[in-house]
Structure 1
Amino acid sequence: MKNYYGSLCTEMYEILHESAPGDELNFYLSYAEKGMSILEPLCGSGRFLIPFLERGFEICGLDLSEEMLAKLKKKAPQAKFFQGNILEYESKEKFDYIFISSGSVSLFTDIDVCKKILWKMKELLKPGGKFVFAVDSIKDRCEDDEEYKTSIEVKTKEGFDLVLKGKNRFDEETNTQYSPSVYELYRGSELLQKEEMDFQTHLYELGELEPYLEEIGFSKVTVYCSYEKEIAQNNETNMFLYECSL
């Protein structure tokens, strides 16, 4: 399954991203107030959700990856979360604030699916609620590769070598970056486990998403180019941050 975080991918993610970057975390925290009901779709192993919990916020997570959520449960047994497809998530509760961090919306490379997810977020918000999310921009494009290359190598807590090999190809017509990857776990020279991932991201241009968000019914959409909330002016940034109000 494309963009699915399996066991080796999750293990490497945990090693490389043990905690949320401070500036990014503070950006999402800036919208939260005590007493709010908060939802974090695509919460993964909880690097943002857990700091929200530690600060006393009422937050619920949602993710498709059982492997990621198992890590979350181990780190924060009290965390409230649901495992499943974001489009199939049903809740009687409406939320004051929903956020999707780390450019994860870019993982939905089918624009029709992406629109459905944006609609879903709007439906889950209370009147006056806010939806905040990030996407990767066209400037984040990688150079194309012909062959797989080792990009990351880390040690697991057991002392094994976990290696990531990947390559990139950019589709100019759809602004989709294809990054097939292979995770390999070694004990010395012995290959213990191998996991393939068909990683894909849509790289956005400024102005591309705004019409969809307005069509969905968000009354105000603000686009930032930094966690300091600088207004985006062009595509010369690696990400766009969207603040959407009902």
Structure 2
Amino acid sequence: MINYYGNLCTKMYEILHPYVEEEELQFYLSYAKQNKKILEPLCGSGRFVVPFYEKGFDITGFDMSEEMLKELYKKVPNVKSFKSSMENYQPKEKYDYIFITSGSFSLFLDEKNVENLLIKMKQSLNEGGNFVFAVETTANVVYDKQNYFENNSVKTEEGYDLVFKSKSFYDEKNKILSTPSIYELYDENNLLAKEEMDFRLKLYDFGELDELIFKAGFKKINVFSDFNKSNNLNKNSKMFLYDCYI
């Protein structure tokens, strides 16, 4: 399962990331305005949708993971959201602000898919709206780890042990970092469930996306290397934050 959050993966995600870091939240909130429509594609279990909703913003989210959306509905049953992949998403409404967080933009691996994503986001924006997103950079390269190693182990609410193992490979030509992963659920030494995932990220160098962004119809780009929007752009940052206007 490539770039999909399944049941065990979602469980671990919820345990390790119950809340968004305040600095990151404030960065995305800084673009939001009351009485303006907001869209969060790839919203997952609602780390951002929930605090936006609780602050009274008109926000809609969508995600392809049914498991993630179930967690979202547990937190906010009446939240506006729907199930869709980015490939199947067809712009029907217009929004004033769209954002994709946590480097999820990097889950789209080839240039054509990235171009289509950017075009859909532009088509979904009202005039004067902006699209804000983060990408992982080539500073995140991990040297190949051929064998599975344990990254994390957590306790579930039922008292079971949930273990995450992974290995990694880097395709230097295409700048794609692959992380085949295994999630295992144990009751002491008894294996209850197992889930295999394969996460792949497209890593970017500084300026690599600019041409595609303008080609999609955006008129202006601001790029930051941290959530403080500092003027001193660090081209070796592990993250680039794009603020795109139409």
Query: Which residue identity is paired with 2:152?
Result: I
Give the gaps of 5 or more residues in structure 2.
none
The answer to whether 1:217 aligns with 2:217 is yes
2:168 is matched with which residue?
Answer: 168
The answer to whether 1:124 aligns with 2:124 is yes
The answer to whether 1:183 aligns with 2:183 is yes
Distance in 2, Cα, partners of 1:201 & 1:93: 29
1:17 is matched with which residue?
Answer: 17
The answer to whether 1:38 aligns with 2:44 is no
Give deviations 1:201-227, integer Å, cap 9, x for gaps: 011100100110011111101110000
2:159 is matched with which residue?
Answer: 159
Mean Cα displacement is larger for which, 88-97 or 137-146?
A: 88-97
Deviation for aligned residue 1:116:
0.6
C-alpha contact (below 8 Å) 1:36/1:95 kept by paired residues = yes
Identity %: 50
Distance in 2, Cα, partners of 1:213 & 1:91: 18
Deviation for aligned residue 1:144:
1.5
Give deviations 1:30-53, integer Å, cap 9, x for gaps: 000101100000000001000000
Distance in 2, Cα, partners of 1:86 & 1:31: 22
1:146 is matched with which residue?
Answer: 146
CA RMSD of superposed structures (Å): 1.0
1:85 is matched with which residue?
Answer: 85
The answer to whether 1:241 aligns with 2:220 is no
Distance in 2, Cα, partners of 1:90 & 1:203: 26
Instruction: Sort the Cα spacing of 1:44 and 1:169 in 2 relative to 1 into closer, same or farther, 3 A.
Output: same
Give the gaps of 5 or more residues in structure 1.
none
Give deviations 1:141-162, integer Å, cap 9, x for gaps: 1221121000110000000000
The answer to whether 1:60 aligns with 2:80 is no
The DSSP-based 3-state class of the residue aligned with 1:183 is: strand
Give the TM-score, by structure 2 length.
0.98
Distance in 2, Cα, partners of 1:118 & 1:164: 33
C-alpha contact (below 8 Å) 2:178/2:198 kept by paired residues = yes
Distance in 1, Cα, partners of 2:232 & 2:142: 21
1:99 is matched with which residue?
Answer: 99
Deviation for aligned residue 1:232:
6.3
Distance in 2, Cα, partners of 1:245 & 1:49: 22
C-alpha contact (below 8 Å) 1:5/1:67 kept by paired residues = yes
C-alpha contact (below 8 Å) 1:107/1:201 kept by paired residues = yes
Query: Which residue identity is paired with 2:196?
Result: E
Runs of 4+ that moved beyond 6 A: none
Deviation for aligned residue 1:236:
1.3
1:28 is matched with which residue?
Answer: 28
Distance in 2, Cα, partners of 1:155 & 1:111: 39
Give the TM-score, by structure 1 length.
0.98
Instruction: Sort the Cα spacing of 1:188 and 1:195 in 2 relative to 1 into closer, same or farther, 3 A.
Output: same
Distance in 2, Cα, partners of 1:231 & 1:178: 32
The DSSP-based 3-state class of the residue aligned with 2:10 is: helix
Instruction: Sort the Cα spacing of 1:171 and 1:31 in 2 relative to 1 into closer, same or farther, 3 A.
Output: same
C-alpha contact (below 8 Å) 1:150/1:164 kept by paired residues = yes
Deviation for aligned residue 1:231:
4.2
Total equivalences in the alignment: 246
2:197 is matched with which residue?
Answer: 197
Give deviations 1:44-66, integer Å, cap 9, x for gaps: 00010000001000000010000
2:73 is matched with which residue?
Answer: 73
The DSSP-based 3-state class of the residue aligned with 1:164 is: strand
Deviation for aligned residue 1:87:
2.8
C-alpha contact (below 8 Å) 2:101/2:133 kept by paired residues = yes
